[in-house]
């Protein structure tokens, strides 16, 4: 799922090193992956034109599935102005996001709402004599919706987060029976004025991601009885990725006593906020400050840490 980038240190007396296990595998489930939302048109007079706008690449998607501007941006890319005074685009987006979130929670419990993103907007634009405005009134035959999808959208290769290439017909990694094509098929018919398709952060498959973790030591000492604090700084980087995630690590103190023996103890866990995808069984080095009480001797510290 990603590349390993570990960073280890060993110091005399004042060393802190830790192992961060980046956890979060994929569990298959029965809920629909992704989400779609749709709203019907009135079928009134005037011309209409059906179009699809699809975006999922290194620069991102159309935007968050909770932001109506994501739909507006997709339409603007096709030269269409969105007039959502009837609230149909907002309803289609809300329904698509709800479907995406519900499916993600079922398949990946405890991992949040899935950071659902808008990848596709299809609409039948039309407002009187012009097709440059979408106001929710236009409709188009289902065959045209699907023909346009399979002619202009499906043949292309998309590149989620710049690292996960896919086609819309590819099965999702956590639900191979489903795909973007199948979401489209479920939501298109001849009464539709708009269809919005959203995907979660693991769809169609988690992108490759490199998490970098670096440490900066505050200093070391070899002097018995020294009472200075031990504190190292952790720096994490998502290396330009648009994906953000929490990373949980377990810290372990490693230090050498004056007798030459090495000690390996630490009380409790520490959580480091990093930005990137969870990895399964990948180790990274993180550091945690350790405060020493004034006047503590090396023997007292040794006793406490043990």
Q: What is the pLDDT of residue 45?
A: 38
With b for 16 or more beta-carbon neighbours within 10 A and e for fewer, the 45-73 pattern comes to eeebbbbbbbbbeeeebbbbbbebebbbb
With b for 16 or more beta-carbon neighbours within 10 A and e for fewer, the 180-189 pattern comes to bbbbbeebbe
For the chain, the domains span 2-25+208-305, 35-199
Q: What is the pLDDT of residue 142?
A: 93
pLDDT < 50 stretches in the chain: 1-47, 266-290, 302-306
Q: What is the pLDDT of residue 305?
A: 41
Per residue in 132-143, pLDDT (tens digit) is 899 988 888 999
Q: What is the pLDDT of residue 163?
A: 85
Q: For 298, phi and psi rounded to 5 degrees? A: -60, -40
Per residue in 16-28, pLDDT (tens digit) is 222 222 222 222 2
Q: What is the pLDDT of residue 267?
A: 40
Q: What is the pLDDT of residue 131?
A: 74
Tell me the angle at which helices 88-107 and 69-77 cross, rounded to the nearest 10 degrees: 110
pTM (whole model) above 0.85: no
Q: CA 211, CA 229: separation in Å to the nearest integer?
A: 28
8 Å CB contact between 109 and 37: no
Please give the radius of gyration of the chain, using alpha carbons only, rounded to the nearest integer.
Answer: 26
Q: Where are the beta strands (DSSP E) in the chain?
A: 2-3, 16-21, 35-40, 49-54, 63-64, 81-82, 117-125, 133-134, 158-160, 164-166, 192-199, 209-210, 212-216, 233-237, 247-256, 262-265, 270-272, 283-285
**List of residues 6+ apart from 10 with CB closer than 8 A:** 17, 254
Burial of residue 302, with CB atoms counted within 10 A of its CB: 0-12 exposed, 13-18 middle, 19 or more buried: middle
């Amino acid at each position: 799922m990603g590349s390993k980038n570990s960073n280890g240190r060993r110091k005399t007396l004042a060393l802190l090193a830790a192992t961060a296990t980046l956890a979060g595998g994929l569990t298959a489930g029965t809920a629909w992956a992704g989400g779609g939302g749709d709203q019907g048109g009135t079928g009134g007079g005037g011309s209409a034109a059906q179009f699809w706008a699809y975006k999922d690449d290194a620069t991102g998607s159309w935007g968050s599935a909770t932001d109506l501007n994501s739909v507006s941006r997709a339409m603007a890319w096709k030269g269409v102005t969105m007039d959502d005074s009837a609230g149909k685009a907002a309803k289609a987006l809300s329904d698509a996001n709800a479907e995406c979130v519900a499916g993600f929670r079922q398949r990946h419990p405890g991992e949040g709402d899935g950071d659902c993103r808008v990848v596709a907007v299809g609409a039948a634009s039309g407002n009187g004599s012009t097709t440059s405005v979408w106001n929710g009134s236009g409709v188009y035959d289902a065959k045209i919706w699907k023909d346009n999808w399979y002619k202009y959208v499906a043949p292309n290769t998309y590149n989620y987060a710049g690292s996960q290439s896919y086609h819309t017909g590819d099965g999702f990694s956590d639900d191979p029976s489903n795909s973007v094509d199948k979401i489209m098929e479920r939501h298109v018919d001849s009464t539709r004025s708009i269809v919005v398709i959203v995907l979660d952060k693991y769809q169609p498959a988690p992108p490759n991601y490199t998490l970098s973790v670096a440490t900066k030591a505050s200093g070391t000492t070899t002097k018995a009885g020294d009472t200075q604090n031990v504190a190292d700084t952790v720096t994490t980087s998502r290396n330009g990725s648009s994906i953000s995630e929490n990373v949980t690590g377990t810290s372990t103190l490693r230090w050498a006593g004056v007798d030459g023996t090495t000690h390996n103890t630490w009380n409790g866990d520490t959580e480091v906020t990093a930005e990137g995808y969870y990895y399964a069984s990948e180790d990274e080095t993180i550091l945690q400050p350790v405060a020493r009480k004034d006047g503590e001797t090396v023997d007292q510290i040794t006793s406490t840490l043990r």
